[in-house]
Every structure is written in C-alpha cells, then in structure tokens.
Chain A
Amino acid sequence: MSEAPLRRPTLRPDLEIIANHVEPRARVLDVGCGTGDLMAELRAHKQVDARGLEIDPANVAAAVARGLSVVQGDADVDLADYPSDSFDYAILSQTLQTARAPDRVLDELLRIGRRAFVSFPNFAHWRVRLSLLWGGRMPVTRLLPERWYDTPNIHHLTVDDFRAFLAERDVAVERSWFLSGDRARGAAAANLLSEHAIFLLHRRNQAF
C-alpha cells in the first residue's frame, strides 16, 4: 500500500465546490475526470461510488493505478452507451467548452444523471472582454491559457449564454456558484465579474 500523502492535494476550486455538494454515498459519473482527483476525494471523504470517463490514456492509466474505475472514452461519443438514470450525479468540469457538440453532451449528462454539475470558464469575464476589446487578439488568460490554434476550448461560452441555453432546453438550475480569482463571489453581475461558473442542474420533469 502506498502511504497517505502528508497533506491532501488541494483540489481545483470548482472541484472543491462540487465535492462539498455531492451527497454522501451517491453514485457519481465524472466525465473528463483527468487523473481522478475529484473521484479520489469523493471516495475517501463521502464514500461515493465514483466512475470516470477520460479521453487521455495516460490520465486513465494514472487513475486506474489509484484504484479508480475509469473508462477511456470521448464524451462526444461514449456517453450514449451509459443507461439512463444510472447515476445520482453526472459531473462535467471544464469540459463542456471542449466538446464538439456541447448541446448533445449536456442532454446525455442529464439523461444519465438525475442531477448534473457543470463547470466552465466564463468567456464574458471583464478581463477577457478587455483583452479582446483593447488587444484585438483572442484572449489568453489564466483559465484559458492556450492560443487560438492549439486550444482544446472550441466552444467558448459565457454565463448568460449558458443560462439562455438551459432555459431553451427546460433544464432547472438547482444552484449556481461563481468564482473570481479562485474565490467564491455572489451571483450579481456574474456574467461580467466571474471567471468561472458552476451549475447544479436537473431536468424539469425529474422526480427525486
């Protein structure tokens, strides 16, 4: 057995919020789970039955080596193979903007999970706006560090885009959180002032 690390590795702030709001002993599918940081946290502290989907084989190998159940696959393709309502939560953290078809991925998420956590970088944050307005170049920021040609973020969106999108699709927002500089902030003017948004969603016709 490997020894427990002296200090728990710090979770990314959006993952920390999600981890704090998952019910204990829930069944969770983490889509785009990376090396499984969130899954490991949920397993250790909330006795969650966590499964992951991850596109990068090296990340999958690392997660499996931690004893996590992770399947190598592509959210755009492989979510279709999961049965409906098979998880209490489906989680999509910082992955929506990388999907080829984010609308279909969100539909699948809400089909597979009774609830869904979705987090994404907000492209309407004032720093992004200023960068585009004054620089005239595609913004490169802390949360969006890649250049236009090598970024995996092919579907940038804003908090207001996402809200409108949810309204069109009859998806209910159960809760939302907004981050600026890794700190939580209120929902006021979130589209301008938040760098990062996290939504807890469910289908409007969902019975709990």
Chain B
Amino acid sequence: MDSRFGLDRRVTLPGALALDGGGALSPVEIAYETHGRLDADAGNAVLICHALTMDQHVASPHPRTGKPGWWLTMVGPGKPIDTDRFLVICANVLGSCMGSSGPASLNPETGRPWGMAFPVITIRDMVRAQAMLLDHLGIARLAAVVGGSMGGMQALSWAATYSERVGAALVIASTARHSAQNIAFHEVGRQAVMADPRWNGGDYYDAEPPAAGLAVARMAAHITYLSEAGLTEKFGRRLQARDAKSFGFDADFQVESYLRHQGLSFVDRFDANSYLYITRAMDYFDLAEEHGGTLARAFSSATRFCLVSFDTDWLYPTAESRHIVHALNAAGAPASFVELASPYGHDAFLLDSPELARVVAGFLRA
C-alpha cells in the first residue's frame, strides 16, 4: 500500500513555496485525502478544490464535527465524480486550518503560531502548493480539476498557470475576479473579527479565540450564500419557539436563530485568522489582471472547460460565468456553459441537483 494515498494524509512540501506577494514560505505542510486508485499511467487523477470554509473532507466525515463529507452528492463510487474510475484528490488550501500551513501553524523562527506574521497569500499560491502536492503524488497531468465558488477560482487559476497539466476544468458558481460587492462583504467579515477584542492583533492562540467576531463574519457571509426567495421559503417572518414578539433583542425570528446557530457552529471548526487570510486571497483574485488585463490571454485551447452558474446566485451571478465563457471563446478553448435553475442561491452547488450531476458526469466522461 502506497502511503501517499488514502484518507488523512499529510506531506511537507520539498523546498520553499514562492509567493505572489514576494518572498517564500517554508516549510509548507499540506493535508489532503485521496479516494479511488491511480491508474498505472497516472492519467485518471481529478483534483477537487474546496471553497472558503471547506476542507479536504470532500467525501469522508469531518474529524471535528463528525458531519459527512461536504460533496457526497457528487463524489463516490458510481457518483458523477466516480471514485471507481478516477483517483480523486482534495487538499486543504494553503492558509486554512485543517492541517495545511496557515496562520495557526507554528512559525519555525519563533516556535509560536504565525498569527498575522503569516504571509498574505493568493489563489495562485494555493494552486502552486497543490501542484507541488501533485509532484509528490507522481501526477504530471490532471484528467480534470473541479471546484465550486473559491474552488472554481482555483480551477481557473490551475488552467491559466499550468494549462499543460490540466485536461479539463469544471468551474461551478464562480468568477474570474472578485467584484467590489464581493470585496465589500468580505471586508465586513474581517472587520467583525478584528473588532473583537479577543482577536488581539491575531495573537490569541494561547487564550480564547475571537469567537464573537468570527460568528458575526460567518452570519453576514452566510446571507450571501442564500437567495432572498430561499430565505423567505425557509423562514419567512416566522417566530422562533414563541407565539409573539418579545419586544426585546432575543432571536425572535427563525432566521435570526438560524444565523446565530450558523455563526456559533462555525467558530468551533474554523480559525479566525485563516478566515482573514483566505478572504484576502479571494479579494486579490483577478485572473485578467494577471494576464495584462485581458482574460482571454489566461486560457489556451489545451484545456476543456465547463462552467455552471445558478440563476439565484447573487454572490457570483451568471454574468460572471458568461464573462469567462466569452474569454474562452476568444481564446478558442473548448467551452461549455449552462445556467441551472435553483431556488437556493450560491449554496446550490453543494446541494443535491440531478441537473448538476448530469452535467458534471457527462463533462468528465467526455
């Protein structure tokens, strides 16, 4: 049994990771999981890139929450991303807090957690670290790279940075650049974290973490993952376990109670500084800017693309996917695009959708 493959794997990358912001990070540890078997010619690897607060547990239980893998609808034997057919890899992104190097990791120079001394990273830095992981696994070329939301940004960055290593890129509910509105929402979240006195300039690892600030950040962000119609359908103006308004500031409404729960359960599994660093990386993402201002220059015809958007996603709306499709057409890249109908907003990509399953399975089978 090759110890590089399986669940709960970790590797310290050989050498330093050069960063877009200048300088290099060393050592870099990457936590990852694989499902399925690598073919003898190593040609059946699919890399799944995860979203902001997700992790490598795409199809295995989360070690802290015990919840099932976050994309079980899509990944597994006989599923659209078929582990009987593909070797599926999912790695915790650089800057996160589930085993890969991030602000909570130890700074070798001080022997203490990096905190805000951790370098600011980019989506492309995350992708470079993943490329070094693939080198470690002996995979020269991916059959496909797949991702939703921030995972889609990584998939796009993969195709732009290592086109010769990517056979196909599947980009779901994502964007080629963060808009002013996207940045604005992230800034609200970061300021909520930093306004919590427990944040302490990012140095809280020996004390209580800034849970209140991080919970507010999560609450604000969570609203952007849902649609207005979805919220109305799920909660309306219904009251939470009471018959009348309290004329106070308890969570009178179900939607308030729900958001508070989302915030509180998030702080148990996520590091506040990681939230700052990863949202920053997303805000800095502008694939056209990395290619002289012309998005089409980011792409070659060596990679097949498929883009999927959801009609109620106002975080990364359909227009953003269309913008990418136009650039792919201009680059002559084989591209597919479909806008799927869903009442669930941005989160739709994580939910069970027969239409999405059909598109993903068909695109990967081609």
Q: Interface residues of A: mostly helix, strand, loop or mixed? A: mixed
Which chain B residues numbered 314 to 355 have a C-beta less than 8 Å away from chain A?
A: 322, 325-326, 329-330, 332, 334-341, 355
Q: Does B270 contact A (CB under 8 A)?
A: no
Q: Does A207 contact B (CB under 8 A)?
A: no
Q: How far is the CA of A1 from the CA of B366 in the complex (A)?
A: 9
Q: How far is the CA of A96 from the CA of B175 in the complex (A)?
A: 33
Closest Cβ neighbor of A56 among chain B residues: B338
Contact B338 A66 (CB under 8 A): no
Selected contact of A60 from candidates B322, B332, B336, CB within 8 Å? B336
Which chain A residues numbered 49 to 98 have a C-beta less than 8 Å away from chain B?
A: 49, 51, 57-58, 60-73, 81-83, 86
Selected contact of B329 from candidates A62, A63, A71, CB within 8 Å? A71
Contact B340 A57 (CB under 8 A): yes
Given contacts A64-B359, A64-B362, A65-B358, A70 and B341 within 8 Å (CB-CB): no
Given contacts A57-B339, A57-B341, A51 and B334 within 8 Å (CB-CB): yes
Q: How far is the CA of A67 from the CA of B362 in the complex (A)?
A: 5
Contact A66 B336 (CB under 8 A): no
**Which residues from B are CB-within-8-Å of A65?**
358-359, 361-363
**Which residues from A are CB-within-8-Å of B304?**
69
Task: Return A85 CB to nearest CB of chain B, in Å.
Answer: 11
**What count of chain A residues pass the 8 Å CB interface test?**
24
**Which residues from A are CB-within-8-Å of B337?**
60, 70-73
Q: How far is the CA of A63 from the CA of B363 in the complex (A)?
A: 9
Closest Cβ neighbor of B357 among chain A residues: A65
Task: Return B19 CB to nearest CB of chain A, in Å.
Answer: 35
Q: Does B306 contact A (CB under 8 A)?
A: yes
Closest Cβ neighbor of A29 among chain B residues: B329
Closest Cβ neighbor of A54 among chain B residues: B338
B306, B322, B326, B362 interface centre (most CB from chain A within 10 Å)? B362
Contact B332 A81 (CB under 8 A): no
Contact B336 A70 (CB under 8 A): yes
Contact B334 A83 (CB under 8 A): no
B329, B335, B339 interface centre (most CB from chain A within 10 Å)? B329
**Which residues from B are CB-within-8-Å of A68?**
336, 366
Task: Return B313 CB to nearest CB of chain A, in Å.
Answer: 14
Given contacts A57-B340, A61-B358, A81-B326, A67 and B306 within 8 Å (CB-CB): no
Question: What are 5 A-B interface contacts by the 8 Å CB criterion?
Answer: A68-B366, A69-B335, A73-B325, A83-B329, A83-B330
Which residues of A line the B interface, CB within 8 A?
Answer: 1-2, 49, 51, 57-58, 60-73, 81-83, 86
Q: Which 9 A-B pairs have the closest CB atoms?
A: A67-B366, A65-B362, A81-B326, A69-B334, A60-B338, A71-B337, A64-B336, A65-B358, A72-B338
